[in-house]
Structure 1
């Protein structure tokens, strides 16, 4: 099944991950895909990549506590060669990257970008062909979360809290 090659959201995720390193946008794009996904296995793929983006977003902001908290899920994802294969990611190289990342987080060292080790040539060509539409990394992406309108998120959290109180 070559589902990911036809998935435009995944291509956009890869573009943001590799070209402008906009991890906040990576999260937003794949969260939408994750919610719509009907295939249980692909839900796990998208969730693993979402969590990776969130970890990197926190790490780059030097929010080591936030990054470490979610990192255990990324380790689990990196250990699942079937899910990584579904995403076109070389599982051995990815596992090594995640192992290195774990040490860097534990030592709270400075963030350095890495590319996802894709092993599917068609997938690589699909996202590389989009490069002209993306800019390079800029410092304003580090705190991108603080610039968005969070009214809907806050409203939903309050609604869920109220529902839990009634139970």
Structure 2
């Protein structure tokens, strides 16, 4: 099966260098192209998983718990779409339920692997990992502050400028 490139990249970042922020970025951009009004899309559920792990790894347990709760609900609604993407949806849902329990008793973050069932998908993503210098399914580097605190360290000039322009357009309209 031919999978969308952003989905392959999402899996590469999730399992390769554990860059959950980049997982969110590539898949959100794709979701906004293909189905932006559908907030219950399976793409949104995958984004929520990445955001949940981003929060969890940073120690924002309440943010992670809220986000995982939404992701679990999304997976429940989108089992078929996730299965078509080569993911064992029920297993993923169970993993997130277990992680939510671990959060509730203040257990520390640990990396997980999304249960991918499709061998050809795994090979494609492993190849992408190799091309980008990542090790497939290695644990998160908890000493890499740039990775862990990515959202607060990135250049937001473009985002701020776009918001200012949107406000100006709104005032004129």
- Report the RMSD for the aligned CA atoms in angstroms: 2.8
Q: Does 1:25 align with 2:17?
A: no
| CA pair 106-151 structure 1, distance change in 2 beyond 3 A | same
Moved more, 29-38 or 19-28: 29-38
SS in 2 for 1:72: helix
The offset of 1:152, in angstroms, is 3.1
- Residue matched to 1:104: 102
What residue in structure 1 maps to residue 133 of structure 2? 134
Q: Which runs of 5+ in 2 are unaligned?
A: none
* CA distance in 1 between partners of 2:167 and 2:20 (Å): 28
Post-superposition shift, 1:109?
A: 1.1
Unaligned 5+ segments in structure 1 are: none
Task: Determine the C-alpha separation between the residues in 1 that align with 2:60 and 2:167.
Answer: 26
- Structure 1 residues 161 and 69, CA gap change in structure 2 (3 angstroms): farther
Are the equivalent residues in 1 in contact too, given 2:51–2:64 (CA < 8 A)?
yes
TM-superposed deviation, 1:78: 2.5
Q: What is the CA distance between 1:92 and its match in structure 2?
A: 2.3
User: Conserved in 2, the CA contact under 8 Å of 1:94 and 1:117?
Assistant: yes
**In the alignment, which residue of structure 2 is the partner of 1:64?**
61
- The equivalent residue for 1:48 is 45
* Partners of 1:20 and 1:94 in 2: CA distance: 20
1:165 to partner: Cα distance: 8.9
From the superposition, tell whether residues 108 and 83 of structure 1 become closer, same or farther in structure 2 (CA, over 3 Å): farther
In the alignment, structure 1 residue 150 sits paired with structure 2 residue 156: yes
Distance 2:64 2:162 in 1: 24
* TM-score in terms of structure 1 length: 0.83
1:66 aligned counterpart, secondary structure? helix
Between 1:55-64 and 1:32-41, the stretch displaced more is 32-41
C-alpha separation in 1, matches of 2:5 and 2:42: 15
